Every structure is written in structure tokens, then in C-alpha cells.
Chains A and B, each alone.
Chain A
């Protein structure tokens, strides 16, 4: 399963856990906890709940921005933006050893730099305009193609990806995608996950022929 779910900002601990559990049942294999406005104390409780759910489903739990929370909740790793700490500094934190580091990138140079800096995976985007990253210009599928041709490391396409455009993202060279709205805001997140993944895999099969 090549589907990475990033939590949306809306929803409390209970609501968020419910959506994440549904996505896991639909087959999502990586969950990123991203709550820009939730107090850390609540985020900690939520992270512990998601840790239990992701363990049950043998999925990875990644925490957005906060390496301390990743360590405290025994998450699998942290996802860093361009303005966050450099990967090497996070890697050296006591208690962080063995965990994963992901990096958001918006250009080929940033993706290459992230890899050189020791990120375990890079997210490339936003491929399409997205309200999650308001004001950030979309990089389009062209950047996905450029990164796919160069980076032999796990990478994900992210930003505005949904059922209608996932095929174009796969055609550009992505083998895995990250989504927020397409699953988090769906009326049936489990079904949305399944359908999105099916579309992704079907297109990959076509691309391989």
C-alpha cells in the first residue's frame, strides 16, 4: 500500500483517531500526525492513541515538526519542513536513534539537499494547489518527474492529490502519494483510501507495461 495520510487540522482527538483508524482499515501504511493549532498536551494524547492504532495495523506513525513528541510517543519518525531543524540535528537528539526523518521539498535542489542531509524520505510538492498549504505555488507534475529520475530514495508526491488526478501523478513517476483532504475529509475515509490506492496501483500497472 503506497498511501500516506496526513491528518487535517480540524477535529479533536476522538474525531481524528476515528478517521485515522478508518484510513488504516482502508490500507494506509503511513500516518502523519499534523495539527498546527492543537495544544501540545492534546497532541501528545492523540499521538499515543495513534501509536496504538498504527501498531495494530503494522503501519508507520510520523509526527509533523515535533521531534520531541515523536520521541515521547515512540513514533517511527518525524516529518520536517524547510524551516524546521536540519535532519542531522534531529538525528543526533538523544532518544531519536533508529527513527525516520522525512523532509518537505519544493524544488529538485531541495530534494537533493534533503537526501544529502540524511532524510530517509522526501515529500515533493505541492503538486496541485491545496488549501492545506495556502499561498504556496503548486510545483506541478514536472517536479515529480525530475525528482523521480534522480532520487533513488523513498519519495512521495503530495499536495492536492485526489482520485481524479492520481493517474497523472503516477505517470509523472511517483510510486507513492500523500494526501490530506482526499481521505481525511471524505465521508467514508476507509473507502476513499481503498479507491485512491486502487487507482494508484492500477495506473502503476499500466505504466509498467
Chain B
């Protein structure tokens, strides 16, 4: 087969003549389920991807689903590639049906599950009707108050067939649910030694974030505000400092309230956000789930684009030259 030039999302690209859409998507590392393909101005059905051939001069437009982000910009945590930068919680939802609709709206790759649930009254304990195999499950050690307790829950989760991912969460204060720094560090060290992919929940303390990174955490997860408060990002400076010091993904976890705050976190260089209460307790949870999914895409795009410099002197945006006085 010879090489020919096609137009892909408005730019010329060389492909093998007659290559199928399916093979082309594979070469581009795009999951067919994540994309709508317009081929010469016609939408191609997913089932026809393998039969549809691409030839010289064809125009292709790949439209990614919300949450998909740029195809070459996946978030990689512990060797696992995640397309969506929204990690979705599963607690506090009014019903499974509401949760299922939120997951459909937000299209996350990773969802959190508590190994031990704290609030037995308010929470569901079942995920009936939700195909868990579609997601990377992030079990968390919520409910542990000591390093030892967290290690036990992590080992139990792995032994029971959850993945090697573990979100280490050791509560240090029952009122604020803020994490215990020393116990978190101890549990992180031990679980890293045992081969777990540790994602460590921490407050917004910069030095603690550095220590967790040094201890081998695959991701550091500073809280925006105490869990469940929806107070939003309380310390932007610390988030920026953490991002500048920690060489693994920084995932803002806990306390976000509205999508603009999620976007702000991503703009500041956070790799992802974890959202639960802000979606579960919104007036319309599926709509809010989608809004968060859209916000992280916008925030990430803005981060990659690079913000304009801040100036203190006004500069007119409209040209003044040639305008009649």
C-alpha cells in the first residue's frame, strides 16, 4: 500500500492508502468507543469502522466525547493510562440509578470505592446495575485511623481481587476528617514496599506532599477543603507549590463544590480531580457530573495552552490604528 495524504481534524496527515478507520484509530491510540468519526462529512457508524477505507484526499474529523480530552494527553498513574481526568466517587448518591446516570454522563475511567463504608445510614452499599469492569476501581482505606489499619484494609482489598491501586486515607481528626500526616506516610511507605500503587490523600501541606512523593506514592492527592464540605479550593498557592515540587500526578481530592473550581485546579497543573459530594448532592447530579467532566477538559486544555502574562497596565484589545477620530 502506498502512502497518501488525508486531512485529519483540519491538518494534513500521511496514512496508508486504503487503511481502515479501525486501524487508523489504533495507530492514533484512540479507543473507538471514545470517538465520533466524520468521514468526508458523513458520520460513520462504529460498526463500520473496520469496513470503511481511507483514501487520498479524504477528510476526517475525530470528535472526542467529553471526558476524553486530547488523545495524546492521557493521565498515567502507576502505569495505568486514564483518559478522563475526573475521578468519580460512588458514595452519598441517592440511589444506584442516580449514580449510574452520573457515570454515563461523566464517562470517568476511574471510580472510587470504600472498602469499609463509614456512613451506613446515608450510603448505598451496592452497585447493582453498574458494570464495574468498565472502570479502574480505586479502593480507599477510609475508616482507618492508624497506619496499621490502613495497611490491613489495603491488603484485604488486594487479596479480594481489587487491583493494586489503593487510595491511602487515614483520618487524623474525626471532626474535620483531615488526614493524619504521620500515619499516612507510614502506611504509604509500607504499601509501596509491598508493591501497591499508592495514591495518598493528604491535606494541602506542601512538605507532607513532598514526603509522600519521596515515599514512593504514585500520585499525591491534596484536599481542596475538608471532605464533603464543597467549600472549594482553599489554598491555590499551596496547590501550585505542590505541583511544582512533586514529580508524580497531583490529584485534587475532596472539598470541591462547582466545576469552575475543578477547572481552576487543572489550570494550576493538577493532573486530575476526584469529585463525589459536589455531584452526588447537586440538585441534578447527572448534569453536574457532566459539567465537572467538561470542566476538567477545559482546565487541562488551558493548562497546556499556557496562560497569558498578567499585566498591570491596561492594553486595548481592539486596534486603534486607522480608526477615524
Give A residues with C-beta under 8 Å from B: 1-4, 29-30, 58-60, 76-77, 97-100, 112, 115-116, 118, 120-121, 149-156, 174-176, 204, 208
Rounded to whole angstroms, the CA-CA distance of A204 and B133 in the bound complex is 12
Interchain CB contact under 8 A, B156 and A2: no
**Is residue B180 within 8 Å, beta carbon to beta carbon, of the partner chain?**
no
> Which residues on the A side are within 8 Å of B162 (C-beta)?
154, 175
B310 located at the interface, meaning its Cβ lies under 8 Å from any Cβ of chain A in the complex: no
B152's nearest neighbour on chain A, judged by CB, is: A76
**Which of these binds chain A: B140-148, B251-259, B282-290?**
B140-148
Which among A59, A98, A99, A152 has the greatest number of chain B C-beta atoms within 10 A?
A152
Q: Contact between A116 and B125 (Cβ–Cβ < 8 Å)? A: yes
Contacts across chains A and B counted by CB atoms under 8 Å: 86
Knowing A150-B126, A150-B128 touch, does A77 contact B159 (C-beta < 8 A)?
A: no
Are A208 and B133 interface neighbours, CB within 8 A? yes
- The contact size tier of chain B is 20 to 34
24 of the cross-chain contacts (CB-CB < 8 Å) are A1-B159, A3-B159, A29-B155, A58-B194, A59-B155, A60-B155, A76-B152, A76-B155, A77-B152, A98-B145, A98-B146, A100-B153, A112-B125, A116-B125, A120-B116, A151-B125, A153-B115, A153-B125, A154-B115, A154-B157, A155-B160, A156-B160, A176-B159, A176-B160
Find out whether the CB atom of B157 lies under 8 angstroms from the CB atom of A100.
no
Given the known interface contacts A60-B159, A97-B145, A154-B157, the answer about A118 and B152 at a Cβ–Cβ threshold of 8 Å is no
B28 within 8 A of A: no
Cα–Cα distance between A207 and B153 once the two chains are bound (Å): 26
Chain A interface mostly:
loop
A204 neighbours in B (Cβ, 8 Å) = 161
* Set of chain B residues within 8 Å of A112, measured between Cβ atoms: 125-126
Residues of chain B within 8 A of A176, CB atoms compared: 159-161
Q: Which residues of the other chain, A, contact B144 by a CB distance below 8 angstroms?
A: 98
Residues of chain A within 8 A of B160, CB atoms compared? 2, 121, 154-156, 175-176
Complex Cα distance, B162 from A59, in Å, reads: 16
Cross-chain contact B120 with A118 (CB below 8 angstroms): yes
